[in-house]
Amino acid sequence: MRGAFGVCGNEFSPADGVVVDVGFGCGAHSDVQPDTTSPVAVAELVYDDGVDLEPVGK
């Protein structure tokens, strides 16, 4: 029985914490919705082409 069944340990799966058939797995591959927000705070984009820089030594 150990080779045919297991416990799903995928928090994104509807079968999380449930004994499942090995052939079924957790069944979460198509149910997972990825988080589209960045975990890192991102500042607004600044474009610097170097045109407004002061010349060095003058």
pLDDT at site 9: 83
> For 1-58, where are the E strands, in sequence order?
5-7, 19-21
pLDDT at site 28: 56
Q: Which residues contact 14 (CB under 8 A, 6 or more apart)?
A: 27, 28, 31
Q: What is the DSSP letter of 32?
A: -
Q: What is the pLDDT along the chain (58 residues), one digit of tens a residue?
A: 777 888 888 877 788 888 888 887 777 565 566 677 777 887 887 777 766 666 776 5
d(CA 26, CA 4): 13
- β-pair partners for 7: 19
pLDDT at site 6: 86
3-state secondary structure of 7: strand
